[in-house]
A and B are shown apart, each in its own frame.
Chain A
């Protein structure tokens, strides 16, 4: 355990825990768009900024991926922090004005936005789907498109590899803006424009999982495919 100071309060913190983990425990509200408790931190949305005192100088730092150190001083609500979060929200809102998740966070941070619900479903490049696919599902079907030197891409996006995707739908579940859409009709599921065959439960006959996903689970766990064709309700 280490001791840190958050907004003047001395608190004990687990070694190598992040600032955000500790502020969450203290119920301090810090806005985020790209953070998820079950995934590695990414530091992409820049909304979770706090101020950290390093060598006597207060510096802005992303709380989601900055680990605490013994004696670390943190300010979560200073004018500079608020101003920084608001400016970031303004930029996000400028780029994705119709996307509700962005509007909501911008509104919360004092940006003037229309009251009604946004109808847009933009990809805000938060990377939640990429990390979920890689870290939770373990197949890496989603990656950031590379935008390095000489590659001149106008709008970066998430690339989909149909050969790796197992159709599990985790990306659609985790997507905060509704950009990743999944459609299930009868024995078919469509996600990222790829059509998957669904397997019907041996007991109740409900189409409950894509065939590719069950095959993948079978391969990873060595449980025969037949044993997996009963849905969770009937097991």
Chain B
């Protein structure tokens, strides 16, 4: 950031004020939260320090405002944090009334130090740290306040609250918030909070790859909080109590929106647009609603009644759903003629990527693409078990195919992957469960030729690989070992190395621009394509991603469509790119406590059955797991130029 006058961010002192000598360069080489430039920020105060950009900034008033903001988040559950903040607020108030003294500054320091080492949670341990910096480095301003030479003023401020887990979540769910509600036995309120950003809580609570848990501060202490299972617990508890319904709109607007694709992105957009009182029609080419959640994820991971219940709620608030309706026949003009004011394209990525092996295009019997295999299976097609199946790929789709084959009754299920276990993109839980179920993993090999006899697959010729230098993805690139070809006999081959979209979606004169990666090109903020009024999002824009990514896009597209139709612009807030949210200047002692486990379906019972494998928490277990959350809320307050 340019023109930093003073910074204590990350504990690194940069002081360029008059009369101060600082070895640090004028431009601070620290990664700060990025503030919206149009607000012309003067100074910011956050959990990790104080940063001053403009000499006009009023640090004492900023400190007061920051204290007021963190006071709102202090839970009062331990005696030092909330009372400590109250005392600090009172001391500043006394100073402003002319009742303060120099000794108050020492008392403030003592209180802050006490709260930081003594608080129960991560919030209390970190929130007051920057206040220590302001009274240390801007002491003269506080002394001026005591002497009556300065007044407290309410300037123009903005405030944001986040947490390491929240920043890691694509949809920025208020994770500490919904966990706290569970801790307090308020499952219904917790679910309401989850639904604000995630309209498929039971689905995401089962299938999410939970980037939040990787960002959990507890991961470095013992184990991350089981955030995904807690979300599931909120959804399960609701179902056990009969299932709540969603609040639909009372009045209707005239404008109607067409959504193409009833996957998570389309459903999230439909839900949010309905809340904004728009008429919504979703066109779905398949006979089932749910997109990849319905036809890509096997039932043993996501029971259909859970998915259907959550879809049903969205239907019941007045979203019109047309299944078995491919939009190809409709052009964009037709849609507009039919009275749709905007179109959201969210068709997903349902076509498998080619593996580059000889013979893959020959249409052999016994060669089925992974997404097609799962789709057929989920649409009710009976697959005859054979002796052996080879699944090609190392992602979750490959694992889903392999584990489904175990359930269908294949004797021998093998995965071949061109890199090693470390580089495998599938989640660890999936790999472990697959191993328990008897799936055999073959690493460092790739198929070069599909072998067939009389049009039917008999085997696959592979070549061995070794790992070379890391590629753009950071993973080591696999390199074929010359002359290492060998053959594996098999009855069925399922390639599952990636997916792409079936494009173009709408054959129209004004074609929607497609990128060289075969995805739809959109504006990164508004999600609008180069055709006005046509928006796109989800897998068909990003390539294959996780459910929560698609839900996030759907939420945002709804807001963007609203702005487009009503005239308005999307607010650009603070961003934390490159900022280490886990880091906190103070860290008290945290009692170690392992995560609450859940039961799994006995391995012996898994073959021949698509029954759900992973169990959930009962309410007491969920409440006890929720106790583990360290509540690492991070607050940033900044003063804006008026």
Contacts and interface: CB of A to CB of B under 8 A. Distances in A.
Contacts of A25: none
Contacts of B86: 94-95
Interface string B34-76: 0000000000000000000000000000000000000011111
B30 to A, nearest CB: 26
A84 B118 contact: yes
A143 B619 CA distance: 14
A221 to B, nearest CB: 20
Nearest to B162: A149
Interface stretch (B176-184, B255-263, B407-415): B176-184
A45 B79 contact: yes
A152 to B, nearest CB: 5
Nearest to A155: B76
A18 to B, nearest CB: 9
Given A87-B110, A95-B86, A125 B76 contact: yes
Interface centre among A88, A146, A148, A153 (most CB of B within 10 A): A148
Given A87-B114, A91-B84, A148 B180 contact: yes
B185 A140 contact: yes
Interface string B99-141: 0000000000011001001111000000000000000000000
A52 B193 CA distance: 38
Interface in B187-218: 189, 193
Contacts of B118: 46, 49, 60, 84, 87-88
B589 A146 contact: no
B591 A44 contact: no
A80 to B, nearest CB: 9
B286 interface: no
Contacts of B357: none
Interface string B553-596: 00000000000000000000000000000000000110110000
A91 B111 contact: yes
B450 interface: no
Interface residues of A, number: 41
Contacts of A44: 77-79, 120
A43 B121 CA distance: 10
A127 B161 CA distance: 27
Given A60-B117, A60-B589, A148 B177 contact: yes
Contacts of B72: 147, 151-153
A149 B174 contact: yes
Contacts of B82: 156
Interface in A54-83: 54, 59-62, 65-67
A124 interface: yes
Contact of A88 (B114, B180, B591, B633): B114
A225 interface: no
Interface in B586-627: 588-589, 591-592
Given A143-B184, A149-B177, A91 B79 contact: yes
B518 to A, nearest CB: 39
B184 A61 contact: no
A62 to B, nearest CB: 8
B117 A84 contact: yes
B184 A144 contact: yes
A150 B111 CA distance: 26
A61 B119 CA distance: 10
Contacts of A156: 75-77, 82
A152 B177 CA distance: 13
A59 B79 contact: no
A92 B589 CA distance: 21
Contacts of A145: 184
Contact of B83 (A94, A127, A134): A94
Contact of B76 (A67, A91, A147): A147
Interface centre among A49, A54, A88 (most CB of B within 10 A): A88
B83 A148 contact: no
Nearest to B115: A91
A206 to B, nearest CB: 34
B186 interface: yes
Nearest to A51: B589
B406 interface: no
Contacts of B181: 146, 148
A185 B119 CA distance: 43
A46 B82 CA distance: 13
A4 to B, nearest CB: 15
A66 B120 CA distance: 12
Given A52-B589, A84-B114, A84-B117, A144 B77 contact: yes
B591 A66 contact: yes
B80 interface: yes
B587 to A, nearest CB: 9
Interface in B255-309: none
B240 to A, nearest CB: 15
Contacts of A95: 79, 83, 86
A209 B82 CA distance: 39
A33 B83 CA distance: 16
A88 B76 contact: no
B474 to A, nearest CB: 32
A61 B591 contact: yes
A92 B82 CA distance: 10
Nearest to B74: A147
A91 B174 contact: no
A140 B80 CA distance: 26
A43 B75 contact: no
B27 interface: no
B87 interface: yes
B78 A46 contact: yes
Interface string B461-494: 0000000000000000000000000000000000
B345 to A, nearest CB: 33
A163 to B, nearest CB: 13
A45 B78 CA distance: 6
Given A66-B591, A87-B110, A147-B180, 6 more contacts: A46-B79, A65-B591, A84-B118, A88-B80, A147-B72, A148-B177
19 contacts: A44-B120, A46-B78, A46-B119, A59-B588, A59-B589, A66-B591, A67-B592, A84-B114, A87-B111, A87-B114, A87-B118, A88-B79, A91-B83, A91-B84, A91-B111, A146-B180, A148-B73, A150-B174, A153-B72
Which A-B residue pairs are the 6 nearest by beta carbons? A148-B177, A156-B76, A61-B589, A91-B83, A59-B589, A87-B114
